[in-house]
């Protein structure tokens, strides 16, 4: 028996962890593996990914309480046989028959947060990691960070399983030519994502900027209006995969100047769609991207210009696109979920 803790669906409306978790649930259904899910009543209403998961009503172990409080407490599960407990966000089960697995996505809080939010997050995360029988890291870089921040963990407990990417992404024959002189920015805009650098880079190379993700706030709009000017950018709020694939296919390149990523799913989405990616040579990105030619060694406009100039040469651009298409074959949700399920089976076999 596998018991999944669906707490992530109550913590975020959409996001990479939700996508991972949704794909894992669908894989368990498809493989006809015996599983249950602990879940709060607001999960379906709150989360876009959870809304799309059907035929699991009989799998739900309902949880009660105010999520913003109970999220910090481990759920109680009464089960008499050995079972895997795998939480989507750093919780464990203290039932003596539970075999705890924790997936570690990144160490953003450790590097970029301060104060109570960091203390609480690290307290919960480190407790889950130290209490787990197996630990999954989504990249070798995340594994390296784990052993840096929690050096007492046995490395033998850690399994690196890469995230996947949807099959919705791929090259298209008919694309919107009005975006061919645009750069694309996808994802969050926290300080370490270096959004302002992306805006400044677009201006420096005389290209418009498409910004994909949540809606912009007043400070971000000021940055865009001041640096690029109205009419030189467009905000696209949470497009579906097909729309995002069209954007990847249409633009000049994805600019992904993030200083830190546990994995960096947009990099692979773009490559799978045949879109060149200009990204930072930091954290997990070199490990994931596969080709170093468009990596930036620092946030430098002049260096960025050299990458654009490189892509302006048709043979170079085609070489980058082909390398990206080949690299993207390393990652899929099917491959990821297969490795998760293999780990579940391996662990349960050892506990028989």
Rounded average pLDDT over 290-307: 96
Q: Are 78 and 52 in contact (CB under 8 A)?
A: no
**pLDDT given at position 312:** 96
Q: How confident is the model at residue 350 (pLDDT cuts 50, 70, 90)?
A: confident
Domains of the chain with bracketed CATH: 2-164+333-351 (3.40.50.2000), 177-328 (3.40.50.2000)
Q: Find the Cα–Cα–Cα–Cα dihedral 213, 214, 218, 220, rounded to 10°.
A: -20
Average pLDDT across the chain, whole number: 95
d(CA 320, CA 257): 18
Q: Are 112 and 190 in contact (CB under 8 A)?
A: yes
**pLDDT given at position 227:** 96
Reading the block at residue 191, the tokens are 């300080």
195 pLDDT higher than 70: yes
Rounded average pLDDT over 159-172: 96
**pLDDT given at position 62:** 95
Residue 94 makes CB contacts below 8 A (sequence gap 6+) with 74, 76
Reading the block at residue 292, the tokens are 């170093």
Question: Position of tokens 């998760």?
Answer: 340
**pLDDT given at position 177:** 81
In the chain, the percentage of residues whose pLDDT exceeds 90 is 91
**pLDDT given at position 196:** 97
Q: How confident is the model at residue 55 (pLDDT cuts 50, 70, 90)?
A: very high
Confidence (pTM): 0.93
pLDDT in tens, 229-274: 989 999 999 999 999 999 999 999 999 999 999 999 999 999 999 9
Q: How confident is the model at residue 2 (pLDDT cuts 50, 70, 90)?
A: very high
Residue 277, classed as helix, strand or coil, is strand
**pLDDT given at position 315:** 97
Reading the block at residue 291, the tokens are 């080709």
340 pLDDT higher than 70: yes
pLDDT in tens, 88-107: 999 999 999 999 999 999 99
Rounded average pLDDT over 148-155: 96
* Nearest one of 34, 40, 4, 2 to 22, comparing CA atoms: 4
């Amino acid at each position: 028996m596998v018991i999944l803790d669906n707490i992530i669906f109550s913590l975020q409306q959409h996001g990479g962890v939700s996508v991972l978790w949704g794909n894992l649930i669908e894989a368990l259904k498809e493989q006809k593996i015996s599983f249950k899910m602990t879940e709060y009543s607001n999960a379906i209403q709150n989360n876009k990914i959870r809304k799309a998961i059907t035929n699991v009503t009989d799998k739900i172990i309902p949880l009660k309480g105010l999520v913003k409080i109970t999220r910090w407490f481990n759920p109680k599960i009464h089960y008499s046989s050995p079972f895997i407990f795998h939480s989507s966000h750093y919780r464990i089960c203290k039932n003596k028959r539970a075999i705890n697995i924790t997936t570690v996505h990144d160490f953003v809080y450790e590097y970029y947060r301060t104060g109570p939010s960091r203390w609480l997050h690290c307290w919960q995360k480190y407790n889950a990691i130290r209490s787990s029988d197996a630990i999954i890291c989504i990249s070798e870089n995340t594994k390296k960070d784990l052993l840096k921040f929690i050096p007492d963990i046995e490395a033998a407990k850690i399994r690196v399983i890469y995230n996947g990417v949807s099959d919705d992404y791929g090259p298209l024959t008919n694309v919107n030519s009005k975006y061919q002189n645009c750069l694309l920015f996808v994802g969050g805009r926290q300080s370490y994502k270096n959004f302002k650098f992306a805006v400044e880079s677009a201006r420096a190379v005389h290209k418009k900027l498409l910004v994909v993700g949540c809606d912009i706030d007043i400070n971000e709009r000021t940055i865009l209006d001041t640096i690029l000017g109205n009419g030189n950018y467009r905000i696209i709020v949470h497009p579906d995969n097909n729309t995002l694939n069209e954007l990847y296919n249409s633009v000049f390149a994805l600019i992904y100047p993030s200083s830190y990523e546990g994995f960096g799913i947009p990099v692979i989405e773009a490559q799978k769609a045949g879109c060149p990616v200009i990204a930072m040579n930091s954290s997990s990105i070199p490990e994931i991207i596969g080709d170093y030619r468009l990596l930036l060694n620092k946030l430098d406009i002049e260096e960025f210009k050299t990458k654009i100039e490189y892509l302006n040469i048709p043979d170079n651009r085609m070489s980058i696109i082909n390398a990206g298409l080949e690299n993207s074959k390393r990652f899929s949700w099917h491959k990821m979920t297969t490795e998760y399920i293999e780990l579940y089976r391996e662990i349960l076999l050892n506990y028989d």
